[in-house]
Amino acid sequence: MNLQALMTLTSIALVAGVLCISGNLCAEAGDDAKTPPNKKEAATERSDEEKLVTVAMARERAKLTHEIYAATLDVIHHRYFLNERSTIPARAMEDVFKRIERESKITARWISVNAKAMSVTHKPKTEFEKDAARTLGRGKAEKMEIVEDGYYRRVGTIRLTSACVSCHVGFGADPKVARFAGLVISIPVREE
């Protein structure tokens, strides 16, 4: 097995470990205490209605989820970005977003904030996302949130490092200007 394949497997294992830890941390307190051991297997399948959480819970989960994604992105950048043929870590994270969505109904996506969008899918779409990009891009906040249409939505900043800025802004960009991407997290909620 070559070094790149080994490092790819290691990164997959790291992401899987982070997802397992986050799943355990996000579980509602006391679920296991209420479920008898022989019924735990049957209790793993919950209806979509049972997966809805309060806005306060969604806020905490979004903060944790943002931290997990940001940490994973950082680790992938520092440990596994080997050469121009490697997958860009932010693109690899989109696969993590898809898995989290399948498992928890929590969606996540990148948006451009104050640098060039590297994909048309990264442009802010909704009025909330556009407002968040403007506000976060000016450094007036690190996050913005809203509850609308049955979802708690949070946009938090991801600081672009010098390696990111060279593509998103171009060489010769003013190093004193902080550049950000946005991470949009949406969690279905029930009325409190």
Check residue 41 and give its pLDDT.
44
Asked if the model's pLDDT at residue 94 lies above 70, the reply is: yes
Asked if the model's pLDDT at residue 13 lies above 60, the reply is: no
Check residue 158 and give its pLDDT.
87
Q: Name the nearest CA neighbour of 68 among 24, 31, 10, 7.
A: 24
- In terms of residue numbers, what domain contains 48? 3-188
Check residue 107 and give its pLDDT.
94
b/e map of 1-17 (b: 16 or more CB within 10 Å)?
eeeeeeebeebeeebee
- Per DSSP, the three-state class of 108 is strand
Determine the average pLDDT of the residues in 147-165. 85
Determine the average pLDDT of the residues in 65-87. 72
b/e map of 85-121 (b: 16 or more CB within 10 Å)?
eeebbbebbbebbeebeeebebbbbbbbbbbebbeee
Check residue 145 and give its pLDDT.
96
Number of domains comprising the chain: 1
